[in-house]
Chain A
């Protein structure tokens, strides 16, 4: 955990920088060809890591903990969970 400002008490804005994506073991991979942009994954993501960009959904891995809910809920099996470090491909 990194401190952004020197606070006397843990009250303020931008207190700590915590990269909660650090402890992920699996990451979601979205197959754009299977995706029908229904938004189910966007609705279910508990950490708001899925965004709509130009009518398409994108996954931001910064805070994704790899819980796999998006992959489980996707009605078209467009999201796969890939083990971290299994390949070097970027999402």
Chain B
């Protein structure tokens, strides 16, 4: 029997990590770190979780410790946010290119300047091309469930890649919801211990790690890495089904469609804003507007075919970004969606929306206005359209 509790996103993530039985956790405990690491430390102190807890002096060291631990065959977990992720950039890339299935929660927080601690996925979206798998969550139950699934996906021999479980700072990390905590036995059954075959450090058998490698061989490793990313699309589908069968909760794979069948206007979302968009879609449907929602769960690997299938025959698509792509006059998700739909026979008219930066609220009525704009005056809309609540 699952235990039902009221948990904030960080506590849900801590439960997801603890149930996955990591061997080593290494994390920097101070801002921009969230209480997630504090919860895990408490689990270890209370002997509820049997693992090595390494409190390191920086995020760079956290990922470096986990690189070594994962090379030695451990299941590993860490978490970070914003500037911490930025400091981790070098070992972040290396964990992916060494094909180490580390799982890291990224509590999405806005990047400075100016000084900010509030939510927004600018931090992890900026690092979307560093070789990791990136999954974005809508609610606290999804955080817990996806951390368990992240190990299953990342450790699959067809994949062998590190996985980020990303969720919006404060909107999920610090707000509480009803969460089901599955029994440990069920998770153990779903997630057997990690047994790497591609790498394993062994003092009895000295070996080289990362020798200087020329371009022709480096391209060979990159080709394998790209293939592994593509394999992850299929593996995620399998894991979604297996999880649904054993735990009873369906996450629909790489994207989730909401009221899309006959929709003419579609909003595309990422992360915690999705709930408000669902409500806005329901309200507009009551007024007879044919509107739907596509929630992107998996950003890397990018589910190209799923997006084409969901949006290819629609008229109008509005992409809501809680981030910016400097130099492109839009958000990052907008470009991903626009790129996926380019070249289709009759691609939809795709428009960029930006809002909610620095943790600003994105409310149901904001999305109502977005839908009105797309429906009534798509040609007259500013590009990008900024969702602003206060007049400056």
- By secondary structure, the B interface counts as loop
Greatest chain B CB density within 10 A among A3, A7, A10, A16 is at A10
Residue A9 interfacial (CB < 8 Å): yes
Distance (Å) between the CB of B142 and the closest chain A CB?
Answer: 31
Find the residue from B71, B160, B209 having the highest chain A CB count within 10 A: B209
- Distance in angstroms between the alpha carbons of A44 and B381 in the assembled complex: 73
Contacts of A89 in B (CB 8 A): none
CB <8 Å contact, A13 and B213: no
8 A Cβ contacts from B87-137 to A: 97-99
- B198 touching A9 by the CB < 8 A rule? yes
> Residue of A at shortest CB range from B99?
A9
Q: Give chain A nearest CB distance to B101 CB in angstroms.
A: 12
Q: Which of B205, B206, B216, B221 contacts A10 (CB 8 A)?
A: B221
Residues of A within 8 Å of B160, CB to CB, are: 8
Contact, CB under 8 Å: B217 / A16? yes
Supposing A10-B210, A11-B209 touch, asked if A1 and B199 sit within 8 A by C-beta, the answer is no
Complex Cα distance A8/B220, Å? 9
A7 to B206, CA, bound (A): 16
A36 is an interface residue with CB less than 8 A from chain B = no
Given known contacts A1-B216, A8-B198, is B207 in contact with A13 (CB within 8 Å)?
yes
Is B208 on the interface with A (CB-CB < 8 A)? yes
Q: Chain A: which residue is nearest B213 at the CB level?
A: A10
Query: Is A9 in contact with B216, judged by CB distance below 8 angstroms?
Result: no
CB distance from B248 to the nearest CB of A (A): 35
CB nearest neighbor in A for B210: A10
Which residues 315-344 in B have Cβ within 8 Å of A in the complex?
Answer: none
Determine whether the beta carbon of A10 is less than 8 Å from that of B198. Answer: no
On whether the beta carbons of B99 and A12 are closer than 8 Å, the reply is no
Q: How many A-B contacts at CB < 8 Å in the complex?
A: 45
Specify which of B207, B213, B214, B224 is in contact with A12 (CB 8 Å cutoff).
Answer: B207
Taken together as a complex, chains A and B put the C-alpha atoms of A51 and B206 apart, in Å, by 23
Q: A1-B216, A3-B217, A8-B160 given as contacts; is B205 within 8 A of A13 (CB)?
A: yes
What's the Cα separation between A7 and B198 when bound, in Å?
A: 8
A31 to B7, CA, bound (A): 80
For B205, what are the chain A residues with a Cβ–Cβ distance below 8 Å? 13
Q: How far is the CA of A54 from the CA of B71 in the complex (A)?
A: 42
> B208's contact among A1, A3, A13, by CB below 8 Å, is which?
A13
- Which residues on the B side are within 8 Å of A9 (C-beta)? 97-99, 198-199, 221
Q: Are A10 and B209 in contact (CB under 8 A)?
A: yes
Given contacts A11-B199, A12-B208, contact A1 B221 (CB under 8 A): no
Is the pair A1, B213 in contact by a Cβ cutoff of 8 Å? yes
As a 0/1 sequence over residues 4 to 26 of chain A, the CB contacts with chain B under 8 angstroms (1 = contact) are: 00011111110110000000000
Chain A, Cβ-Cβ closest to B200: A11
Give chain B nearest CB distance to A73 CB in angstroms. 27
With a cutoff of 8 Å between Cβ atoms, the chain B residues found around residue A15 in the complex are 208, 211
Residue of A nearest to B228 (CB): A8
Task: Give the residue of A1, A8, A11, A13 whose beta carbon is less than 8 angstroms from that of B214.
Answer: A1
Q: Which of B206-239 contact A (CB under 8 A)?
A: 206-211, 213-214, 216-217, 220-221, 224
Contacts beyond the supplied A10-B213, A15-B208: 20 A-B pairs with Cβ under 8 Å: A1-B213, A1-B214, A1-B217, A3-B217, A3-B220, A8-B160, A9-B98, A9-B198, A10-B209, A10-B210, A11-B71, A11-B198, A11-B207, A11-B208, A12-B199, A12-B207, A13-B206, A13-B207, A13-B208, A16-B211
Residue numbers of A with Cβ under 8 A of B are 1, 3, 7-13, 15-16
A-B contact pairs, 25 of them (CB 8 A): A1-B213, A3-B220, A7-B198, A8-B199, A8-B224, A9-B97, A9-B98, A9-B99, A9-B198, A9-B199, A9-B221, A10-B98, A10-B208, A10-B211, A10-B213, A10-B221, A11-B209, A11-B210, A12-B207, A12-B208, A13-B205, A13-B206, A13-B207, A15-B211, A16-B217
Interface residues in chain B, defined as those with a beta carbon under 8 Å from any beta carbon in chain A: 71, 97-99, 160, 198-199, 205-211, 213-214, 216-217, 220-221, 224
